[in-house]
Amino acid sequence: MREVRRSEVQELMNKGAQVAEILGPEEFQEDHLPGAINLPLRKVETDAESKLDPNRPVIVYCWDSA
């Protein structure tokens, strides 16, 4: 796992990386990055493999670094 900044996020997205928001569905519905899927932290165990391709890069994010 590695940390990325905004500019690299944009580059990876342009190259087709998958993007997953870790917040809950209400926050996701209000605002999310273009093309992101919603994968709340507690659903990672059960839903990750059905929602994401493990062979392609994945970017995860929540609200901020706090």
How far is residue 28's CA from residue 37's CA, in Å, rounded to a whole number? Answer: 9
Q: Does 57 bind other proteins (CB under 8 A)?
A: yes
**Quick one: how far is CA 31 from the chain centroid?**
13
- Footprint of other proteins on 6-25 (CB under 8 A): 6, 8-10, 12, 17, 20-23
Of 23, 10, 16, 6, the residue nearest 58 (C-alpha): 16
Q: Which of 15, 34, 37, 50 binds other proteins (CB under 8 A)?
A: 34
* Interacting residue ranges for other proteins, rule: CB under 8 A: 1-6, 8-10, 12, 17, 20-23, 28-36, 39, 41, 44-45, 48-49, 52, 54-65
